[in-house]
């Protein structure tokens, strides 16, 4: 038997809802059905059609039970106020309070190197020895010249003593006495010059022993024993860094300069900088340097190529941990009281505006614009748009639409803040 089903779905639903559909299946009441075949196979066709109608009826009832898609669980956080310390980090280069280049003042080969790289030295301590043979010979020559000039001076004095009585007796003219006095002055000048030459020769001899001008730490030694050095040599012998106080040099942008001037009120940039609280230093290994520092100087001029201005922070260095040439990160704190803090992943942006999904009392969500005052690590500090105690969706905002119903699962805001403690410090509001 062949069964041709030409039965629209709306008619099926009408049939299922009719009273007779609950008691019996009357094929005559189903328009659009035409049976071809003998009576024996009619019962099989009727059974098949009954199964189809049962499936349609089951689907309809299931949809009625569900009433739309089921609600999905989303993590939410409850907003609250915190006293926040936001840290702003700037890459810095470390230099000693005094970085003195040690250069040779005489020419010669290095005969002795008394120190090693990285060694702590004291003021006046011998560092290098330059071959002094030439300088010793110059001293001997200068001493000989001085003795010769002293002898000439003595002779000039004797000449005066000899000519003076002859002039008094009119044996020789007055001119001879004047000439003797002139020779005496010339001899005295030559002695003074010889003494100066001897002192200069001794000074040059003393400069063959190179000493440290201050306490500090020796840097790289650029030459080795036997190297020829001179005052015109490009590289210094070494650099002595005075490291009881260290300077950290770093750059900030023009925008930072304006914000500092506004936040730390002062008539001048120097006055504003003086009001900046104690800064900290992060070492290259990520550890926090145990001593705080103070910003004490600025270049005052903005670099036209980079748009930045250089600042200097001073740090004590009693243990000698910091060395000239080190790198680090200067951390400037910014204190904000009663700030509403939310994770960045709780927001989404549309056309330069920032939004969050707020969870209503009936567990439906609505999008709301917020104004971000500042950024710290993975958090936004909200200026407008949220109040303490409101619930917002923590993550997964890309799948939400206004009016959707969710199953809220509260996530602790404190745990999220603790995970980002490297860049933000939060104290509980009193």
What domains can you pick out in the chain, each with its CATH number?
2-64 (no CATH), 73-84+336-427 (2.40.420.20), 132-207 (1.10.287.470), 241-334 (2.40.30.170)
Can you give the pLDDT at residue 270?
A: 76
Helices first, then strands: H and E counts in the chain: 7, 22
Q: Are 272 and 260 in contact (CB under 8 A)?
A: yes
Can you give the pLDDT at residue 298?
A: 83
* Paired tokens of 409: 């699962």
Which residue, 394, 418, 391, is CA-closest to 80? 391
Pairing of strands 406-410, 72-78: parallel
DSSP class of residue 398?
A: G
Distance (Å, whole) CA 60 – CA 65: 9
Helix or strand run (H / E) with residue 66:
helix 42-66
Instruction: For the beta carbon of residue 151, count every other beta carbon within 10 angstroms.
Output: 12
- The radius of gyration of the chain's CA atoms, rounded to the nearest angstrom, is 48
pTM, whole model, 2 decimals?
0.57
Question: Which stretches of 16-160 are assigned E, i.e. beta strand?
Answer: 33-36, 72-78, 81-102, 108-113, 120-121, 126-130
Question: Which stretches of 124-227 are assigned E, i.e. beta strand?
Answer: 126-130, 209-211, 216-218
Distances (CA, A) of 422 to 105, 287, 336, 425: 50, 11, 17, 8
Distance (Å, whole) CA 117 – CA 216: 12
Distance (Å, whole) CA 5 – CA 21: 18
Can you give the pLDDT at residue 274?
A: 79
Beta-carbon contacts of residue 257 (< 8 Å; ≥ 6 apart)? 269, 302, 309
Give the residue carrying structure tokens 């971000």.
Answer: 372
Distance (Å, whole) CA 392 – CA 358: 4
Would you write out the chain's pLDDT as a tens digit for each of its 430 residues?
Answer: 444 444 444 444 444 444 444 444 444 444 444 444 444 444 444 445 455 444 444 444 444 444 456 789 999 999 988 887 778 889 999 988 888 999 999 999 999 999 999 898 999 999 999 999 999 999 999 999 999 999 999 998 998 888 888 878 887 788 888 888 898 999 999 999 999 999 999 999 999 999 999 888 898 999 999 999 999 999 999 999 888 889 999 998 888 878 777 777 777 777 787 788 899 999 999 899 999 999 988 876 777 788 888 999 999 998 888 888 889 999 988 877 888 989 999 999 998 899 999 999 999 999 999 999 887 778 898 989 999 999 999 999 888 999 999 999 999 888 888 777 655 555 443 3
Q: Are 424 and 87 in contact (CB under 8 A)?
A: yes
Beta-carbon contacts of residue 404 (< 8 Å; ≥ 6 apart)? 364, 365
* Paired tokens of 169: 């007796």
Distance (Å, whole) CA 263 – CA 265: 6
Distance (Å, whole) CA 426 – CA 376: 11
Can you give the pLDDT at residue 421?
A: 65
* Paired tokens of 393: 């969706």
Instruction: For the beta carbon of residue 371, count every other beta carbon within 10 angstroms.
Output: 12
Can you give the pLDDT at residue 61?
A: 44
Beta-carbon contacts of residue 217 (< 8 Å; ≥ 6 apart)? 96, 118, 119, 120, 121, 240, 241, 243, 320, 323, 324
Sheet holding 126-130, edge to edge: 209-211, 126-130, 108-113, 228-229
Distance (Å, whole) CA 426 – CA 412: 14
């Amino acid at each position: 038997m062949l069964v041709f089903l030409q039965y629209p779905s709306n008619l099926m639903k009408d049939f299922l809802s009719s009273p007779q559909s609950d008691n019996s299946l009357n094929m005559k009441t189903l328009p659009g059905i035409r049976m071809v075949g003998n009576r024996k196979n009619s019962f099989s066709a009727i059974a098949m059609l009954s199964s189809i109608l049962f499936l349609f009826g089951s689907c309809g009832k299931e949809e009625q039970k569900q009433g739309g898609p089921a609600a999905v669980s989303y993590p939410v956080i409850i907003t609250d106020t915190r006293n926040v310390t936001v840290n702003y980090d700037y890459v810095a280069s470390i230099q000693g309070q005094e970085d003195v280049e040690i250069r040779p003042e005489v020419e010669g080969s290095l005969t002795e190197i008394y120190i090693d790289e990285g060694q702590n030295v004291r003021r006046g301590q011998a560092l290098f020895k330059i071959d002094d043979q030439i300088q010793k010979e110059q001293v001997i020559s200068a001493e000989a010249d001085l003795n010769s000039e002293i002898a000439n001076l003595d002779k000039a004095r004797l000449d005066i003593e000899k000519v003076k009585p002859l002039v008094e007796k009119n044996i020789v003219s007055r001119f001879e006495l004047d000439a003797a006095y002139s020779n005496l002055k010339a001899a005295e000048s030559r002695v003074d010059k010889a003494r100066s030459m001897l002192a200069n020769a001794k000074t040059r001899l003393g400069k063959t022993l190179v000493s440290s001008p201050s306490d500090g730490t020796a840097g790289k030694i650029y030459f080795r024993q036997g190297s020829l050095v001179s005052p015109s040599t490009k590289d210094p012998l070494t650099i002595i860094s005075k490291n009881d106080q260290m300077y950290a040099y770093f750059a900030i942008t023009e925008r930072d300069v304006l914000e500092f001037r506004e936040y730390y009120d002062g008539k001048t940039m120097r006055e504003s900088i003086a009001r900046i609280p104690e800064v900290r230093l992060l070492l290259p290994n990520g550890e926090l340097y145990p001593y705080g520092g103070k910003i004490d100087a600025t270049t005052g001029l903005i670099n036209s190529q980079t748009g930045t201005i250089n600042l200097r922070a001073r740090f004590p260095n009693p243990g000698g941990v910091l060395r000239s040439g080190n790198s680090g990160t200067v951390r400037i704190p910014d204190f904000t009281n009663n700030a509403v803090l939310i994770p960045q992943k709780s927001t989404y942006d549309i056309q330069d505006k920032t939004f969050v999904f707020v969870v209503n009392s009936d567990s439906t969500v609505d999008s709301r614009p917020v104004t971000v005052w500042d950024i710290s690590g993975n958090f936004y500090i909200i200026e407008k748009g949220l109040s303490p105690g409101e619930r917002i969706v923590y993550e997964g905002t890309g799948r939400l639409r206004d009016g959707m119903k969710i199953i809220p699962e509260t996530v602790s805001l404190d745990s999220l803040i603790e995970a980002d403690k490297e860049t933000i410090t939060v104290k509980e509001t009193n």
